[in-house]
Amino acid sequence: MSYSADHLANQFLIAMPGMVDSNFAGSVIYLFEHTQKGAMGLVVNRPTEVNLGALFDKIELKLEIAPLLDQPVYFGGPVQVERGFVLHEPNPLISYSSSLVIPGGLTMTTSKDVLEAVASGSGPRDFLMTLGYAGWGAGQLEEEITLNGWMNVPLSREQMSEIIFKTPYSQRYQKTMSHLGFDLSHLSGEAGHA
């Protein structure tokens, strides 16, 4: 099967019921890159014990916007867990120094200037901050999908934004599954062979 360079980018991946890797069991991942060289995404439903207030203190930025102080920082995946990734709505009027604008989707920024904008109140209105990301080597994600580890869920940007930014984290998996039209819990965790 041949794939376009970004055939799964801007989609959700949901861990299938048989997922045994504790990093990913029960997870929803926003896939922001998928090429022949591999794939990258951010887990969007696993808050850590760290909140934005503590993170901003650690990087010596003053965050005084009360509703944001207690907002959780999420576990984005097991790769580069010391590095921050900010998933947010695209804004054609504002650019940050290190952003990846996913065609038809969201924007992922890794530069400190987006956090400085958040601290000053001029940053993205809706965003999700993660530490680390999920990554797959060439062909690895395709193999895991074939082995029934993941199911991809293509949604509109509006639907994805609703799930990531408006839905409580504990309901994001179920809400993403609801767009499939069937109950994933009824599926087996075993791959079938005809």
CATH number at residue 87: 3.40.1740.10
31 in any annotated domain: yes
74: helix, coil or strand? strand
- pTM here? 0.90
Helical spans, DSSP H, in 23-171 = 52-58, 66-69, 112-120, 140-146, 157-161
- Residue 60's Cβ-side half-sphere holds a number of Cα atoms within 13 Å equal to 0
For 145-181, how does the pLDDT look when each residue is reduced to its tens digit (9 = 90+)?
999 999 999 999 999 999 999 999 999 999 999 998 7
Residue 95 lies in a domain: yes
In a domain, 5, yes or no: no
What is the rounded distance in angstroms from the CA atom of residue 136 to the CA atom of residue 94?
Answer: 30
Q: How many domains does the chain have?
A: 1
Q: Does a structural domain hold residue 79?
A: yes
Residues in contact with 86: Cβ distance below 8 Å, sequence separation at least 6, in sequence order: 108, 109, 110, 114, 115, 124, 127, 128, 129, 130
14-29 pLDDT per residue, tens = 999 888 888 999 999 9
Q: Is residue 116 one of the residues assigned to a domain?
A: yes
Does the residue 93 lie in any domain? Answer: yes
Domain region containing 41: 11-183
100 is a domain residue: yes
How many whole angstroms separate alpha carbon 173 and alpha carbon 118? 27
pLDDT band for 187, please (50, 70, 90 cuts). Answer: low
Place of tokens 């839905």: 167
